[in-house]
Amino acid sequence: MGAETLLKNGEARVQLDPKVPVILGLQPAALIDHVARVDGSLFDQIPGERGGSIPVAMEELEHILSELKRHVLASADDSSPMKTMAGGSVANTIRGLSSGFGVNCGMIGAYGDDEQGQLFACNMNTSGVNVSRLRKKKGPTAQCVCLVDAFGNRTMRPCLATAVKVQGDELTKGDFSGSKWLVMRFGAFNLEVIQAAIRIAKQQGVFVSLDLASFEMVRNFRVPLQQLLESGDIDLCFANEDEATELLRGEGNAHPEAAVEYLSKYCRWAVVTLGSNGCIAKHGEEIVQVPAIGEAKAVDATGAGDLFASGFLYGLVKGLSLEECCKVGSCSGGSVIRSLGGEVTPENWQWMYKQMQRKGLSLPDIRN
């Protein structure tokens, strides 16, 4: 549908109808993030380990929100110590691709008929994302508290149980037709819709990208995750160092290099991000390791991996080399950690463009 197949560097590329999103994000449940910098004592009052993401009930979410004012840390870098915005890993990646790289993107999912749902749709639309594939449903929109400590590390507590979400049988070929990439995040409670999306995407010739979500998700649902990876339907996989280690735990080689090798057996592109140590990636027989941006001051690590994915995917759709894709991802991942939340500020996009210029990377042609 409006697509013409081209060949570049021996690989099929697609010239797409400009009205059709090049990259689609599947986030079954729209999500609102409440991001705040807090002191360490708050972490003693909430369930689960620091640094991860564990679902909580609405009562627990409301309790954490009520405690924030007593634990919030003032910051000289941000006018507000707390921000509320459209959130979720996929939404962060898609918004970054649209607003920072000018890539035509769309979202598939559902949002509730409440204030949070309206905020999600408005925030994504304002960022240039096509929201026509978002379904509005009766019920609440998912929310997540993102707690950021004094060192910029984040701990997530999402409330998803009662939230509206799109179901697998609601997806249609029209959602995917003409697009090139589908971006998803692994979730054990969303396996039905993930599998349905993959099935239709493959029928439509769409590449599939999967993020491994969190080390707890990998730890608790390793078997269904491995089955999904080993199906051969995932073209690109992103994992951070903790997720990569957890994926191979107990096999005697639980380290990022081994994880990249494992993922590359089943995925055309395999990427493991290493925080301040950059990333390692493999495509075919090529392996590259690219350092992080040393100039990036970490205020909040929320969205670092999501925005790395934005830059990497931008590189892929532009036909850049594996190393260049990693370099762009390093620049975009470095841009979001300079302020609170998973949305890059206009000032930090400008910072990213300067970093790209320094590395000899061509700047994106941002649409007006």
How many CB atoms lie under 10 A from the CB of residue 74?
A: 8
Task: Tokens for 40, please give them.
Answer: 């360490």
Helix axes 89-101, 322-336, angle to 10 degrees: 100
Q: Which residue has the tokens 């594939």?
A: 133
How many CB atoms lie under 10 A from the CB of residue 230?
A: 13
Average pLDDT, the chain: 90
How many CB atoms lie under 10 A from the CB of residue 367?
A: 10
Q: Which pLDDT band holds residue 71 (cuts at 50, 70, 90)? A: very high
Residue among 135, 127, 123 at smallest CA distance from 97: 127
> pLDDT by residue (tens digit) across 217-275?
999 999 999 999 999 999 999 999 999 999 998 887 888 999 999 999 999 999 999 99
CATH fold group of domain 21-29+87-140+163-357: UDP-N-acetylmuramoyl-L-alanine:D-glutamate ligase (3.40.1190)
Q: Which pLDDT band holds residue 294 (cuts at 50, 70, 90)? A: confident
Q: What residue ranges do the domains of the chain occupy?
A: 21-29+87-140+163-357
Task: Report how far Cα 17 is from the mean position of its chain's Cα atoms.
Answer: 25
Cβ–Cβ < 8 Å for 167, 54: no
Longest dimension (CA), the chain: 58
pLDDT above 90 coverage of the chain, percent: 74
- pLDDT at residue 25 in the model: 98
How many CB atoms lie under 10 A from the CB of residue 312?
A: 29
Write the DSSP string, 62-124: HHHHHHHHHHBPP-SS-S-SEEEEEESHHHHHHHHHHHHH---EEEEEEEESSHHHHHHHHHH
**CB-facing half-sphere around the CA of 322: CA atoms within 13 A:** 17
- pLDDT at residue 11 in the model: 41
